[in-house]
Amino acid sequence: MQTVIEKIDSSIFKAYDIRGIYPKQINAELVYKITQAYAKLIHPKTVCVGTDMRLCGEEFKQAAIKGLTGAGVNVIDLGLISTDQMYFAVVHLKADGGIMATASHNPKEFGGLKLVREQSRPISGDSGIYEIRDLVISNFQFPISKMKGEVEQKDIRDDYYRHVLKPFNVSKLKPLKIVANANFGMANPAIENIKNLLPIKFVKILNGHLDGSFPKGPSDPLLPSNRPETIAVIKELKPDLGVAWDGDADRCFFFDENGEFVTPAYINALLAEYYLKKNPGAKILHDTRVVRVIDYVVKENGGISATNKAGHSFIKERMISDDIVFGCETSGHYYFKDNFYLDNGLFPFLAVLDILSLSGKPFSEILRPLREKFYISEEINFEYNNPNILEEIKDKYSDAQIDNIDGYDFNYPGWRFNVRLSNTQNLLRVNLEANSKELLQEKTAEVTGLINSVK
């Protein structure tokens, strides 16, 4: 293992996971200490451990195993898996917790960990991450266990794919043509495992092998710079839809048959309707970044709309506490009661396939009523140095109806916007929505102009 980091950078302990630049901010020695602190905090008997294809992943997985077994904890080594497979394994195997070596969609130089308790209940800033941070910084020494934990290797993939397919009537899916972008990540083995179980055809799989160096840049389909390759192939091959996943395959994004990227807020609305038809009167949970389109669809379909602070840990905690059928974020995370209230990257793909099969319409036609009624910006990100930036924006728009569930929501009759500080990066994130294309353009220019003047 590498030399321990002399001064621990506490900023790697985020609101819902741990991420830092490898090996400057996080390395194997620090992972070892983090996992020992994790063991001290939750007192598990058995913990599932896995890694994605990130270059430091296997090193971090082995460090986590050493830290846990040294604390007397038994380990189930899941091997190379996606994040949502780790969540599944913890529940399926009745483990006391889980640790995933991943930095999600962050650039290649990052490494990190996602931590959960029993039932894959999240460990977030509200439920343990900062206690783990404080233990690590205190340089505590875990007492040498009289009984070292044992390591068992287990392959849960077949059980996982059976679980994912179970809620869907696969036999009724139409033979749709798909262009997929796996972004060199864990969607690759997922595609290989499901493509022969579904009556669909992947006409093209882009970036279809594992490569933790991410040779084409960060594995985040939400970045506009990551979309042209997928769009070009869709326009050439004319499939029924396009789909893309991030590196650890727990987020899923879509393109229509014309190659137009589908803003996740529209998918949120479509899936809300889909699950309300299956569960009349149910509660649908979403974040506050973009709300009008999903609130409208939920109301039209007789459901109850609920909002929550963004972040997979916070959303999952609310999903469980309120027994919610479906939850979603504008970031491309989707949560399902059918999946133990946890997020999953294949469920939304299968649900969209079902929606297209049932409707018999092109994807763009299904989306048209929402696109023509609700105008939504891409998320706009700003680097900033002004610690009072949120309050200065609030002062400017003090005449709005203001909510502060997550950052600030500024609501006007014809438009609204949300501003919030990122929980994972030093960024101010802005989302706008309006009743017309012209008003959206006008207010986007106005709000971005203000932020550039005060950031």
DSSP conformation letters of 428-451 = EEEEEEESSHHHHHHHHHHHHHHH
Q: Which of 235-239, 277-281, 311-315, 417-421 has the lowest mean pLDDT?
A: 311-315
Q: Do 289 and 324 reside in the same domain of the chain? A: yes
Task: Find the CATH number of the domain harbouring 411.
Answer: 3.30.310.50
Q: Taking Cα atoms as reference points, which of 27, 57, 12 lies closest to residue 185?
A: 57
**Percentage of the chain surpassing pLDDT 90?**
92
Residue 308 confidence (pLDDT): 95
Residue 5 confidence (pLDDT): 66
Stretch 126-137: mean pLDDT: 94
Q: Do 53 and 148 reside in the same domain of the chain? A: yes
Q: What distance in Å separates the CA atoms of residue 371 and residue 374, rounded to the nearest whole number? A: 6
Q: Do 285 and 271 reside in the same domain of the chain? A: yes
Q: Decide: 366 and 270 in contact? Cβ < 8 Å.
A: yes
pLDDT category at 331 given cuts 50, 70, 90 is: very high
Find the largest Cα–Cα distance for the chain.
Answer: 69
- Would you name the residues annotated as active-site residues? 104
- Does the model's pTM come out above 0.75? yes
Q: Do 17 and 132 reside in the same domain of the chain? A: yes
**343-370 pLDDT, tens digit each:** 999 999 999 999 999 999 999 999 999 9
Domain assignment present for 308: yes
Of 352, 371, 390, which residue constitutes the final position of a domain? 371
Pairing label, strands 283-286, 326-328: parallel
Q: What distance in Å separates the CA atoms of residue 99 and residue 432, rounded to the nearest whole number? A: 36
What is the chain's mean pLDDT, rounded?
95
Stretch 72-90: mean pLDDT: 98
Q: Do 401 and 348 reside in the same domain of the chain? A: no
Q: Decide: 234 and 255 in contact? Cβ < 8 Å.
A: yes
Domain assignment present for 188: yes
Q: Do 344 and 241 reside in the same domain of the chain? A: no
Q: Does 3 have pLDDT greater than 70?
A: no
Domain assignment present for 170: no
Helix axes 157-165, 83-92, angle to 10 degrees: 90
Residue 58 confidence (pLDDT): 98
Range of the domain at 212: 175-259
Q: Do 275 and 345 reside in the same domain of the chain? A: yes
Q: What distance in Å separates the CA atoms of residue 66 and residue 73, rounded to the nearest whole number? A: 10
Q: What is the DSSP string of 144-210?
A: PPSSPPPEEE---HHHHHHHHHTTS-GGG----EEEEE-TTTTHHHHHHHHTTTSS-EEEEEET-S-
**145-163 pLDDT, tens digit each:** 678 999 999 999 999 999 9
Q: Does 2 have pLDDT greater than 60?
A: no
The structural domain count of the chain equals: 4
Domain assignment present for 59: yes
Beta bridge partners of 98: 48, 116
Stretch 329-342: mean pLDDT: 97
Residue 4 confidence (pLDDT): 57
Domain assignment present for 226: yes
Stretch 162-181: mean pLDDT: 97
Q: Does 212 have pLDDT greater than 50?
A: yes
**27-75 pLDDT, tens digit each:** 999 999 999 999 999 999 999 999 999 999 999 999 999 999 999 999 9
Stretch 296-319: mean pLDDT: 94
Residue 145 confidence (pLDDT): 67
**13-32 pLDDT, tens digit each:** 998 899 999 999 999 999 99
Q: Do 308 and 435 reside in the same domain of the chain? A: no
Q: Does 144 have pLDDT greater than 80?
A: no
Q: What distance in Å separates the CA atoms of residue 279 and residue 270, rounded to the nearest whole number? A: 14
Q: Do 382 and 357 reside in the same domain of the chain? A: no
Q: Do 432 and 362 reside in the same domain of the chain? A: no
Domain assignment present for 163: no
**237-278 pLDDT, tens digit each:** 999 999 999 999 999 999 999 999 999 999 999 999 999 999
Of 156, 184, 217, which residue constitutes the final position of a domain? 156
Residue 1 confidence (pLDDT): 41
**Would you tell me how many other CB atoms lie within 10 Å of the CB of residue 162?**
10
Neighbour-count burial for 49-74, b at 16+ CB within 10 Å, e otherwise: bbbbbbebbbbbbbbbbbbbbbbbbb
